[in-house]
Structure 1
Amino acid sequence: MSAPDYRTMCTGRLRAAVDSLAPHVEWSPAGLLVSLLCAFSAMLPETRVQRGSGTMPLVLHVLLCGDTGEGKGQSWGVAATVAKDANDTFMSGHIINGVVGGAGLIQAIANRGGHALIVDTEYARVLRAGRRQANLSQTLRDLWDGATVATSRAKEPVEVDEPRVSIMGHITPAEFRACMSTTDRDGGSYNRLIIVPVEQIRWLSERHVMPAHIIPDIGEAMARAIRHGQRAKLVTLTDDAYDAADIIRKDLLTMARESQGLKAFAARCNEQVRRIAALFALFDLRTKITVDDLKAAAALVRYTMESVEMFIGENDAPKAKREPRSLMEKVRDRIEMYGGKATSSELLPFVGASAAEVRALPGIVVGPEPQGNGGRPAIVYRLADAQPAPAPAAETSPAPETAAPKEEIPVPRPHRRPVTPAPEKPAAQPAVPAPAREENPFRAAL
């Protein structure tokens, strides 16, 4: 599956960071992006984001999925170098390399004050162990939720309240398909993971060296964002972002419900969008999530959902079976979602059709709409107003001969005031022509 433009899946300074790094690596920029997000989320232990009437932590659990030698380790290696430059204390003392079981993991988290980043380059082992150890799968789910985790040992039990733990895992597509079980899918072990494919997209010469200033520059930007995020404590939405959040929520859940295989993976897609959008805002030194933050986060989550669908589509497990909808249904739903009109960027990428195909649909009106900033008019798609059908003319049939004539009831007419006619003007008399002068018969003789 070809990845969409990563620049649509991030905003602001984080996009600039990936722009700087991408030309110097051979692997998918999306892997770099989510690796940076994962490291950044792990360094904000006390910061939360608004979700409905409550809040939730910002931790991310990321799974890079690619074949051996396809850049999983290299993508994380670049991000880890940036993170170490930004916060060497955390990267030196709060990394847990590998998961050794539920009780051992809780003990390792407790040893780091409840604040850690798990890095496991063999995450298939974790998923397989979760089948045998029910407490391990539950512990991983609780860590994403930020819920209390505890061991069940009678002697010296260990408990961690409000843990803040992000996860960076690596897995191959074959391992991912082999590890999926119905119990884990339905239990929520997978819908807390952001699963991103990684593959080689270019070849670089061995002589190619990344400029020395790039890592320190991005590290300094991340360090400023970490300090800002730790002071912020809570990230909320701008006023106009609430409407965008409602639209995105409906859009993603509709996408998930169309595929039987995606339902279990997409149950928490909107929580993932909110966390990622908050990280975009904090990296830009803001505490308010904008519409652009939400759209970029939704594009990233949508990409992960499509990736999962691709992976499970090749498995012997229940395949993703779509209930196909017509193009007209998709277009109508999308336009109604935006209140009766939608721009090209709000409509076309989400219905999988070109502008010409949508224009050809019956009942769709397309035209320019001036922009308030005086810029180029936007092309807007609307639903044509339904015109009421004219009522059919009633057919008159001759009255039967036996029908009795109806008695006519006189209708009283309103009394009218008599109007006095205006006096007529005398008709103009035609002008009488003057008598013609008689011609002198002697004039010629004279």
Structure 2
Amino acid sequence: MNAPDLLEAEPRQAPAPGRQAPRNDFYDDLDGLERPTRPGPVPDPAVFQGLVGRTVRELDPTTEADPVGVLVNLLSAAGAQMGADPHLRIGNDRHPALIWALTIGATAAGRKGAATNTARLLLTAAAPGFTKDNLLSGLSSGEGLIEAVRDGDPTKKDDPGHIDKRRWIVESEYGITMARARREGSSLGGVLRQAWNGEDLGVMNREALKVTAPHIAIIGHISPRELRAKMQDSEMAGGTYNRYLPIFVHRNLILAESRGADPQLVDNLAATWRTVLADARQTGEVTLDEPARKLWREDVYPALCGDEDGDGPLAEFTARAAPYTLRLAMVYALLDHHRQIQEDHLRAAHALVNYSRASAAHVLGMGADTTGDPKLDKLAAAVRAAGPRGLTGEEVYKLFRKANKDERNRLVAALLQIDGYGSAQIPGTGRHATVLLYAPPAD
């Protein structure tokens, strides 16, 4: 296969310094609604896929919450409601439909609570018994979490324990939870790590205090400043926080007199969700169909595991990107009434994990050089390193020799949407060559 002489993307001039990249329709003023300027990363529209994406779109005009915040709350709540039976296999590990997320936004402008309340509104209509009995808050200790879902005591006749082990835990002040986990002798971090895996829980010094097959999902709210202040290297190395998807959120609308979603809209959406969630609970092992397996094997998995160089806080925070992509894809698929993950579900999950990585980079102050897509970061770095001469098509080909033409096209097209990057034609003998260029935006 010959290296391309011309980049397989529509040439366009380098953007003028300071020009903003196009944004997807949730964040553009296409409907006459006033939308504030967004200070952080913007998710790929692919994350709003299928039933959950349509639901977010329907509810978007009724709340100031960030659509991606509503999305991740719905995915987490749905996975919790589905229970422990739906699962997928990654090697010898069994992964349940558990999605844990930290929604990270400014205290005033993040609208973190509004995102959770929007998801809770729908879930209450679709599964009122679940929200009444299974929605908790107040994580304080490992023993307390175990108590909330413990098995019955076999030595006592009238102690059945908790038959339903599903829980959706919402912590509106997750900084407090982090502080509790850091206390000397606290078992909270260790119990949380086991709970994410769906493992049985127990306390050795109290034989009756144990849990069989817990199914616990968590949403935490925290501000960027508080997260940075409370995180410690030992905590990241322990693996507690790489079990959460960091999701940057920001107020998306200014609704001075909103009365929220119309009850009829909520009831209509809930009718569909009620059926889908009930069917999902009857599902066992979830697999990938053949096109999705090919996409995972040849594109997504290498992107998640093969293109990430270095270490440090960002790598620690996103260390579970591969299993999380499949967990998310499973929930997307089940919400679409599919028992096999299809390509669209996998692409949506990959896009959300990439957004999570971009969120972590933004919150941890790693600057605009991180996009959330490791391959795109690699291409951007190569273009910057090329300097004024630009990066040629042949060099792009060598950089991604194992990628196919469509993937290289995708990366080039995505790069050209980023402020400061563009392309230009370089005169030569015969056909002009196109190079990628970087012009830093003016401060």
TM-score (norm 2): 0.74
Q: Residue 338 of structure 1 aligns with which residue? A: 403
CA distance in 2, matches of 1:255, 1:307: 18
SS for the counterpart of 1:60 is coil
SS for the counterpart of 1:147 is coil
* Residues 131/343 of structure 1: CA separation in 2 closer, same or farther (3 Å cut): same
CA distance in 1, matches of 2:49, 2:426: 34
Task: Kindly indicate whether residue 98 of structure 2 is the aligned counterpart of residue 28 of structure 1.
Answer: no
The residue type equivalent to 1:39 in the other structure is: A
Q: Residue 60 of structure 1 aligns with which residue? A: 99
Identify the match of residue 413 of structure 2 among 325, 330, 348: 348
Identify the match of residue 256 of structure 2 among 197, 205, 208: 205
CA distance in 2, matches of 1:30, 1:231: 28
1:416-442 per-residue CA deviation (whole Å, 9 max, x = no partner) reads xxxxxxxxxxxxxxxxxxxxxxxxxxx
What's the Cα RMSD here? Answer: 3.1
Q: Residue 326 of structure 1 aligns with which residue? A: 382
Q: Residue 76 of structure 2 aligns with which residue? A: 38
Q: Residue 88 of structure 1 aligns with which residue? A: 128
Q: CA deviation at 1:159?
A: 1.1
1:105-125 per-residue CA deviation (whole Å, 9 max, x = no partner) reads 111121543321112111111
SS for the counterpart of 2:282 is helix
SS for the counterpart of 2:262 is coil
Equivalent residue runs for 1:125-274 within 5 Å = 125-132=176-183, 133-154=185-206, 156-207=207-258, 209-246=260-297, 247-254=299-306, 256-257=308-309, 260-274=312-326
Contact 1:127 1:179 in 2 (8 A): yes
Contact 1:98 1:121 in 2 (8 A): no
* Residues 55/359 of structure 1: CA separation in 2 closer, same or farther (3 Å cut): farther
Equivalent residue runs for 1:46-125 within 5 Å = 46-52=85-91, 54-69=93-108, 70-110=110-150, 111-113=161-163, 114-125=165-176
Identify the match of residue 57 of structure 2 among 19, 22, 42: 19
SS for the counterpart of 1:336 is coil
Gaps (5+ residues) in structure 1?
Answer: 368-380, 382-446
Q: CA deviation at 1:82?
A: 0.7
Gaps (5+ residues) in structure 2?
Answer: 1-38, 151-160, 384-390, 436-443
CA distance in 1, matches of 2:404, 2:97: 32
Q: Residue 281 of structure 1 aligns with which residue? A: 333
Contact 1:10 1:280 in 2 (8 A): no
Q: Which has the larger radius of gyration?
A: 1
Task: Kindly indicate whether residue 423 of structure 2 is the aligned counterpart of residue 357 of structure 1.
Answer: yes
* Residues 181/152 of structure 1: CA separation in 2 closer, same or farther (3 Å cut): same
Q: CA deviation at 1:2?
A: 3.7
Question: Higher relative contact order by CA 8 Å / sep ≥ 6: 1 or 2?
Answer: 2
1:105-149 per-residue CA deviation (whole Å, 9 max, x = no partner) reads 111121543321112111111111111144210111111111121
1:156-211 per-residue CA deviation (whole Å, 9 max, x = no partner) reads 54111221100111111111111111111111111110111221122113155433
Contact 1:10 1:297 in 2 (8 A): no
CA distance in 1, matches of 2:212, 2:173: 27
CA distance in 2, matches of 1:84, 1:13: 17
SS for the counterpart of 2:82 is coil
* Residues 6/90 of structure 1: CA separation in 2 closer, same or farther (3 Å cut): farther
